[in-house]
Structure 1
Amino acid sequence: MDRGGRVVEPLSAGPAGGTAARAPRQQAGGRLAGLSLRLLRSMALPRFGFRRRSSVSVPFARRVPRLAGTCLALGFFAAIGAYGLVLNGSYADFKDAYGDLRDVAARAVGFGLDKVTISGIARLGEAELLRTAGLSSRNSLVFLDVAHVRRRLMEDPSIKSAEVRKLYPHELLINIVEREPFALWQLNGDLYVVAEDGTQIDQMRDPSLVDLPLVVGEGANLKAADYVSLLEAAGPLRSKIRAGMLISGRRWTLKMTNGLDIRLPEEGAAAAVRRLVRLDREAGLLNKDVLTVDLRMPDRIVLRLTEEAVAARAENTKKKLQRGVKGIDT
């Protein structure tokens, strides 16, 4: 107690004396502070990506995979061997026989080109199509460039469109659309099969196409569709038209089966053909002894007679003149 009768220390059970009582509390506070600091560090370190390295070192021999040295050595000698094959030309023979090394490896693990499914072919043969696409058993599906295969197919004029798709693990799908033969085109004595747009498909080899419309002359293949429309306008005379000859790239001359030539105008050719049909129906024009019927002028027809017709006409004229002279003398 102090001089005023007041108690300085709290009246509580425990060890006597203030210092002795405060010491345990200070030690407890120190332990709590240390524990809190360690807690904060453990929470902060992972947040900023810090990690303490282990003080235990792993020997280098244990960190390297087993047989790594053997594999590296084999790879080194294989690279030297491949380089030697390239230098002496043996690799080219190997490639021709088995394909690229990567294709050989892909086929070994089950990604070879074992099946090719083709749809849309009508006149092309499967073997011919595979040669055009550049496909063989040496290819692998993994390293096959489908865009390159499609470009090769599109270079064939008989193919209008092509689609190429991979179907893993070992199948290739090819869908093509062929150009349809539309007409025959004769140029410089050679005969070709052309499509409706004038594309030259192939030389004429198929006898079943002999009845296709025939166009003659430079650029006539590009106007084959116009010629076919003239045949449609001819109606009953269509079977008597043998070919259409394009003159100067501008107008048509119809070659008839009896050797007669029908010269059509550049403009209004279909109307001129219909006029020809009417004249033949009314006067049998195509059965006359004429070589050429010129329909290029809308208001008249110019005929060129055969030599026999010219001679007969001259003889008739001579006889008429002789009869006229005799009539005068009488």
Structure 2
Amino acid sequence: MVDPRALPVPVRAPRSRLANRWTRLRVLHGGLVRRGLMVAALIAGAVGLYAVREPIGVTASNLATVAQGNFAQAGLAIGEISLQGQTLTSEQDIFDALGIQPHTSTLSFDVEAARQRVAELPAVDSVIVRKTYPGDVAVDIVEKKPIARWRVDGITFVIDGDGDQIGEDGGAYGDLPLVIGDGAADDALVMIRAMENFPSLKDGLIAISRIADRRWDLLYDTGLRIQLPEQGVAQAMTKLVSYQDQYQLLDRDIAIIDLRIETVVAVRPNKTEEPEDPKES
């Protein structure tokens, strides 16, 4: 027989006692411990992100710029822009629409977006934008066809067949017909085409004036004004050409030829100064 009290008692090291306590805690309260550790980790992560939020934001915003700048420094910066086909459209307007900056690289340049912006310029009918590496951009423009000049508020614009202003007349379009008056741009094409059938009426013609947005007057360099009707313009001009052939009516010293009434050709002579009475002098 052995007395239990006589058995030796092992001496446990502090590290062993700590391990035993952790094992007992994990076995008895493992779920609670895991949840606590998870909450602590989330709190620590949130605090860390908050502390570095500004550096991260600055770094992200600068990445694109840095990359683009590096491309430009590597020899891919856009260095030459060639323009072709523009007359009414200014070079500055085209450059602004392209949106090319000194740091813009060929890789980052969006050709389609630039093409759409250039196509929105008033005088542009169609445009092709191409880029060639390492750093060239070519712009080929087809402009709208100007058909007349329109003077309004002291400014002379060049207009297309739709009556849209496609540029200002800097003196290069003096051969185009000049229309004046409110609404003249909208109806100019019809009147200009009608005048093509009567070339003799264009001699000395300086302007076609729109009256009350309903009818036209022809203005000549001699001061003559021909008043056309609202309807039957072609018939009235045919009659006028006939009178010119027979009577040289346009060469007479008259101020107004009124064709507004179909069956009447009314004429107003220029005022002549009456000779002074010798008795009064």
Task: State the secondary structure of the residue aligned to 1:191.
Answer: strand
1:187 is aligned, of 152, 168, 193, to: 152
2:187 is the counterpart of 1:220: no
Is residue 245–residue 254 contact of structure 1 (8 Å, CA) maintained in 2?
A: yes
What is the identity, as a one-letter code, of the residue corresponding to 1:277?
V
Aligned-partner Cα distance in 2 for 1:124–1:229: 26
Report the counterpart of residue 35 of structure 1 in structure 2: none
Structure 1, unaligned stretches of length 5 or more?
A: 1-76, 92-98, 313-330
Q: Structure 1 residue 232: deviation in Å?
A: 1.6
Aligned-partner Cα distance in 2 for 1:119–1:306: 52
Give the fraction of aligned pairs with identical amino acids, expressed as a percent: 29
Report the counterpart of residue 264 of structure 2 in structure 1: 300
Q: Which has the higher Rg, Structure 1 or Structure 2?
A: 1
Aligned-partner Cα distance in 1 for 2:193–2:187: 10
Is residue 89–residue 167 contact of structure 2 (8 Å, CA) maintained in 1?
A: no
Aligned-partner Cα distance in 2 for 1:204–1:125: 12
What count of residue pairs does the alignment treat as equivalent? 225
Report the counterpart of residue 178 of structure 1 in structure 2: 143
2:35 is the counterpart of 1:80: no
Q: Structure 1 residue 282: deviation in Å?
A: 0.6
Q: Structure 1 residue 124: deviation in Å?
A: 4.9
Aligned-partner Cα distance in 1 for 2:67–2:235: 66
1:114 is aligned, of 79, 92, 97, to: 79
TM-score, normalised relative to structure 2: 0.67
CA RMSD of aligned residues (A): 3.4
Is residue 112–residue 140 contact of structure 1 (8 Å, CA) maintained in 2?
A: yes
What is the identity, as a one-letter code, of the residue corresponding to 2:264?
R
Q: Structure 1 residue 130: deviation in Å?
A: 2.2
Structure 2, unaligned stretches of length 5 or more?
A: 1-51, 276-281
| Gap change, CA 1:113 and 1:208, over 3 Å in 2 | closer
Aligned-partner Cα distance in 2 for 1:225–1:301: 26
* Displacement over 4 Å in runs of 4+: 122-128
| Gap change, CA 1:173 and 1:204, over 3 Å in 2 | closer
Is residue 148–residue 188 contact of structure 2 (8 Å, CA) maintained in 1?
A: yes
TM-score, normalised relative to structure 1: 0.58
Aligned-partner Cα distance in 2 for 1:83–1:241: 67
Measured against aligned partners, the alpha-carbon deviations of 1:34-67 in whole angstroms (never above 9, x if no partner) come to xxxxxxxxxxxxxxxxxxxxxxxxxxxxxxxxxx
Q: Structure 1 residue 195: deviation in Å?
A: 2.5
Q: Structure 1 or 2: larger helix share? A: 1
